[in-house]
Chains A and B, each alone.
Chain A
Amino acid sequence: MKTFTYAWRYLWARPMGALLNVLLLTLGLSSITFLLLVSHHMERAFDRDLAGIDVVVGAKGSPMQLILAGVLHLDVPPGNVNFAAVKALEKNPLVAQVIPISLGDNYQSYRIVGTTHAYVAHYQAPLAQGRLWDAPMQVVLGATVARKLGMAVGQSFAGSHGLGGTGHKHGDHDYQVVGILGATGSVLDRLILTDSASVWRVHEPAHMDQGEAKDDHDTDHDHHDDHDADKALPDDKREVTMALVRYTTPMAAVSFPRWVNTTTDMQAAAPALEVTRLLHMLGLGTDVLRAFAGMLLLTAGLSVFIALWSAVRERRGDLALLRMLGAPASRIAALLLTEALWLALLSSLCALVLGQLFVLGLGAMLGLESALLAAGMLWPSTLLLVPALAVLVSLGAALLPAWDAYRSDVLQLLQSRG
Chain B
Amino acid sequence: MTGPAVLQTHQLRYAYPGCAALAFPDVALAQGEVLLLSGPSGSGKSTWLALVAALVAPSAGSLTVAGQEIAALRGRAADAWRARNIGFLPQKLHLSAALTLRDNLALAYWAAGMPENPARIIQVLEALGVQSLAGRLPSQLSGGQAQRVALARAVLMAPPLILADEPTASLDDAAAADAIGLLLQAAKSQKASLVIATHDARVAQTLAALGVSAPVLLPLQASAAQTDEVPA
The reply to whether B83 and A326 form a contact with Cβ atoms under 8 Å apart is yes
| Interface: B79 (CB within 8 A) | yes
The reply to whether B96 and A325 form a contact with Cβ atoms under 8 Å apart is no
Interface mask (A1-27 → B, CB under 8 Å = 1, otherwise 0): 011001001101100000000000000
The reply to whether B113 and A326 form a contact with Cβ atoms under 8 Å apart is yes
Cross-chain contact of A325 among B49, B76, B103, B108 (Cβ < 8 A): B108
Cross-chain contact of A418 among B46, B92, B111 (Cβ < 8 A): B92
In the bound complex, residues from chain B placing their C-beta under 8 Å from that of A3 are 110
Interface residues of B in 157-181 (CB under 8 A from A): 165-166, 169-170
Residue of B nearest to A14 (CB): B98
Select the stretch in A271-279, A395-403, A409-417 that faces chain B. Answer: A409-417
Residue of B nearest to A8 (CB): B98
Residue of A nearest to B154 (CB): A325
The reply to whether A10 and B55 form a contact with Cβ atoms under 8 Å apart is no
What separation, in Å, do the CA atoms of A415 and B44 have in the docked complex? Answer: 10
Interface mask (B139-164 → A, CB under 8 Å = 1, otherwise 0): 00000000000000100000000000
In the bound complex, residues from chain B placing their C-beta under 8 Å from that of A413 are 90, 92, 94
| Interface: B10 (CB within 8 A) | no
- A322-B107, A411-B55, A417-B41 are known contacts. Are A327 and B50 too (CB-CB below 8 A)? no
Chain B residues touching A, range: 35 or more
Residue of A nearest to B96 (CB): A318
In the bound complex, residues from chain A placing their C-beta under 8 Å from that of B88 are 321, 324-325
| Interface: A313 (CB within 8 A) | no
What separation, in Å, do the CA atoms of A416 and B99 have in the docked complex? Answer: 23
The reply to whether B169 and A327 form a contact with Cβ atoms under 8 Å apart is no
What separation, in Å, do the CA atoms of A331 and B107 have in the docked complex? Answer: 12
| Interface: B91 (CB within 8 A) | yes
Residue of B nearest to A411 (CB): B50
- A13-B97, A321-B90, A418-B92 are known contacts. Are A410 and B111 too (CB-CB below 8 A)? no
CB distance from B35 to the nearest CB of A (A): 16
| Interface: A323 (CB within 8 A) | yes
What separation, in Å, do the CA atoms of A331 and B80 have in the docked complex? Answer: 12
The reply to whether A327 and B110 form a contact with Cβ atoms under 8 Å apart is yes
Interface residues of B in 93-130 (CB under 8 A from A): 94, 96-99, 103, 106-108, 110-113, 116
Q: Which of B81, B94, B106, B108 has the most CB of A within 10 A?
A: B94
| Interface: A257 (CB within 8 A) | no
The reply to whether B111 and A417 form a contact with Cβ atoms under 8 Å apart is no
- A2-B110, A3-B110, A414-B165 are known contacts. Are A324 and B99 too (CB-CB below 8 A)? no
Residue of B nearest to A325 (CB): B111
CB distance from A2 to the nearest CB of B (A): 5
| Interface: A328 (CB within 8 A) | yes
In the bound complex, residues from chain B placing their C-beta under 8 Å from that of A331 are 110-111, 113
In the bound complex, residues from chain A placing their C-beta under 8 Å from that of B166 are 417
- A6-B107, A317-B94 are known contacts. Are A326 and B79 too (CB-CB below 8 A)? yes
In the bound complex, residues from chain A placing their C-beta under 8 Å from that of B84 are 326
In the bound complex, residues from chain A placing their C-beta under 8 Å from that of B90 are 317, 321, 324, 413-414
In the bound complex, residues from chain B placing their C-beta under 8 Å from that of A418 are 91-92, 169-170
The reply to whether B91 and A13 form a contact with Cβ atoms under 8 Å apart is no
Residue of A nearest to B156 (CB): A325
The reply to whether A10 and B98 form a contact with Cβ atoms under 8 Å apart is yes
The reply to whether A6 and B92 form a contact with Cβ atoms under 8 Å apart is no
Interface residues of B in 164-201 (CB under 8 A from A): 165-166, 169-170
The reply to whether B80 and A326 form a contact with Cβ atoms under 8 Å apart is yes
In the bound complex, residues from chain B placing their C-beta under 8 Å from that of A9 are 98-99, 103
The reply to whether B75 and A328 form a contact with Cβ atoms under 8 Å apart is yes
The reply to whether B92 and A328 form a contact with Cβ atoms under 8 Å apart is no
| Interface: B63 (CB within 8 A) | no
- A326-B79, A326-B84 are known contacts. Are A13 and B111 too (CB-CB below 8 A)? no
Residue of A nearest to B166 (CB): A417
- A326-B79, A326-B83, A417-B169 are known contacts. Are A321 and B112 too (CB-CB below 8 A)? no
What separation, in Å, do the CA atoms of A326 and B170 have in the docked complex? Answer: 27
- A6-B110, A328-B79 are known contacts. Are A321 and B91 too (CB-CB below 8 A)? no
In the bound complex, residues from chain A placing their C-beta under 8 Å from that of B83 are 325-327
CB distance from A399 to the nearest CB of B (A): 21
Further contacts, 8 of them, CB under 8 A, given A410-B55, A417-B41: A2-B116, A322-B111, A325-B83, A325-B112, A325-B153, A411-B47, A413-B94, A417-B91
6 A-B pairs with C-beta separation under 8 A? A3-B110, A6-B103, A317-B94, A325-B111, A326-B81, A326-B111
Give the 8 A-B CB pairs with smallest separation, nearest first.
A326-B83, A13-B98, A327-B111, A325-B111, A414-B46, A321-B94, A326-B112, A328-B79
